[in-house]
Structure 1
Amino acid sequence: MDLWDFSGTLWRTFEVMGTLAFAASGAFTGVRKGFDIFGVVVLGLITAVGGGITRDVLSGNLPPLAIRYPGYCVLAIVTSLAVFGRPIPVLKADRTVAVLDAIGLGAFAAGGSMMAVSMGFQSTFTVVALGVITAVGGGILRDVLSGTPPLIFRREVYASAAILGSLVFIPARSIMGDHWAMYVCMGVTTLCRLMGIFMDLHLPSGRPKRS
C-alpha cells in the first residue's frame, strides 16, 4: 500500500468515526428525551447525514450523496439501534463521544469545503458556508427536532471551529493541493474543537442588561 492509498484509507476511517459519533450523539439525545426506537433512530440518522443532505440540496447536487450511496445511512441506523439497545454504557461515555464528534466535525467540514470546490464554487464565502453546513447542519436539525437550543448558539467552540478550518482550507489548497488541504482543514477544525472541550473554552455571550 503506497502513501496515497494509506491516506485515502485513513480519510475514510475518519469519516466512519465521524458518522458513528454524530449518529451516537443524535441517538443519545433521543434516549435522554425518552423517545421511542423510531425517534432515536431518526435523530441518529439526521445528525449523521443531515448536514451533507442540506449541503447537497443548497448546492444543487441532487439527489444527495447520502441517498445515492446509503452506506453511511446504514451505519448511522445500526449505531442508533445499538445506542437504543444499550443506553447505559453510552450515557457514561460523554467525553469519548465528544472526541469522536470533534473528529467528525473536522472530517465533514473538510469534505464540505472540498465538495464546494469540486462543484466549481470559487467564492470564499460559498466554500466556507458549505463546509460549515456539512459539519454542523445535522446537529442543528437534531437539536431542533428534539426541542433543544442548538449547540452552536450555546457559547461552544463548534461552528466557529468549522469556520476556521474551512477558511484555512482555501490557502492550504493553493499551497499543497486538494488532498492535503482537506487534512489541514480537518486538523484545524478538530484541534479547535478539542481545545474547547478540554480547556473549557467558550465564546463570549450576550447578557441581558438588568433594569
Structure 2
Amino acid sequence: MTAWNIFEIMGIVAFAVSGALTGIQKRLDVFGVLVLALITAIGGGVMRDVIIGNTPPLTFRDPTFFIISLVVTIGVFFTYRWLERYKNTIQIFDAIGLGAFTATSAKLALVHNLDSVCIITTVSVITGIGGSVIRDVIVKEIPYVFRQEVYAITAIIGAMTFYYSQMYFASPIPLYLCFTITTGLRLCCIKYGWNFPVIGRDSEESITDSQKSGHNF
C-alpha cells in the first residue's frame, strides 16, 4: 500500500465520520446518516474526477470507498456518544479529511499531466471542501468555507506547497508536506480561533443592542 492509498483511506474515513456525526446531531434516521456520511466522504472526489476528466469517477468504478464509508458509519453508530465527549470532534475529523484529500488530489492532477499551480490548487480545494459544503447545505447550515472560518485557505496553502515542493523533493515527500501543512494549519485555526473578519458584523451587533435597549424601556 502506497502513501497515496493511505491518505485516500484517511480522507474517506475522516469525512465519513464527520458526515455521520453531523447526521446524528441533526437527528436524521439511519438511512439519512448513511447518505450524509457517503456524500461527505465521496462528494469532493466525484467533483474532482469530473473536472479532470477521470470519468466515470473512481468511486463508481471501485466500490472500496463505498464499503469503507459504510463500515465507518456503522462504527460511528456504536461510538458516537464517546466521540461527542470531545470538543470540536467533527471539525478535527474534517481537518484530517481536508488535508488528506488536498494532498491526494494535488497528486492526481499531476498524474493527469495538469502541471499548473492554478489547476492543481483549484482541483485540490474543490476536492477538499466539496463534500463538506454539500453536507452542510443538506442539513441547512452555512458551510464553514463561507463563514469566517479559515478553511479553504489552508487547502490552497497546502496545494501550493505540494506544487512547489515536488520540484525539489522526490515522491512521496510533497504528499506528506501537503497533508501536514493543510491539516496542521486547520487544527491551529480551530485551537486558537483564527478567523476572517465578518463584514458588517459590528454594525449589525450595534443595531441588535439598540433594539434590545429599546425593548427594555
Q: TM-score range by the shorter chain?
A: 0.7 to 0.9
2:7–2:104 Cα contact (<8 Å) kept: no
Q: Does 1:128 align with 2:91?
A: no
Amino acid at match of 1:103: I
Amino acid at match of 2:141: T
Question: Which of 16, 20, 37 is the matching residue for 1:23?
Answer: 16
3-state SS in 2 of match to 1:201: coil
Counterparts of 1:131 and 1:169 in 2: how far apart (Å)?
10
Counterparts of 2:52 and 2:92 in 1: how far apart (Å)?
29
CA drift at 1:95:
3.7
Point out where structure 1 has 5 or more consecutive residues left out of the alignment.
Answer: none
Tell me the residue number matched to 1:146: 139
1:162–1:189 Cα contact (<8 Å) kept: yes
CA drift at 1:79:
1.6
1:37–1:81 Cα contact (<8 Å) kept: no
3-state SS in 1 of match to 2:167: helix
Tell me the residue number matched to 1:192: 185
Tell me the residue number matched to 1:64: 57
CA drift at 1:35:
1.0
Q: Does 1:159 align with 2:152?
A: yes
1:105–1:162 Cα contact (<8 Å) kept: yes
Q: Pairwise mapping of residues 1-211 of structure 1 onto structure 2 (< 5 A)?
A: 8=2, 12-207=5-200, 209=203
3-state SS in 1 of match to 2:92: helix
Q: 90-99 or 16-25, which moves further after superposition?
A: 90-99
CA drift at 1:164:
0.5
CA drift at 1:17:
3.0
Counterparts of 1:93 and 1:25 in 2: how far apart (Å)?
13
Q: CA RMSD in A?
A: 2.0
String of CA shifts for 1:35-83, please: whole Å, max 9, x gaps.
1111100100110111001100122111111122221221111222332
1:40–1:84 Cα contact (<8 Å) kept: no
1:152–1:159 Cα contact (<8 Å) kept: yes
Counterparts of 1:90 and 1:195 in 2: how far apart (Å)?
20
CA drift at 1:86:
4.6
CA drift at 1:146:
1.2
Q: 19-28 or 40-49, which moves further after superposition?
A: 19-28
3-state SS in 2 of match to 1:186: helix
3-state SS in 2 of match to 1:23: helix
Counterparts of 2:180 and 2:77 in 1: how far apart (Å)?
31
3-state SS in 1 of match to 2:199: coil
Counterparts of 1:207 and 1:178 in 2: how far apart (Å)?
45
Q: 80-89 or 139-148, which moves further after superposition?
A: 80-89
CA drift at 1:113:
0.9
Point out where structure 2 has 5 or more consecutive residues left out of the alignment.
Answer: 208-217
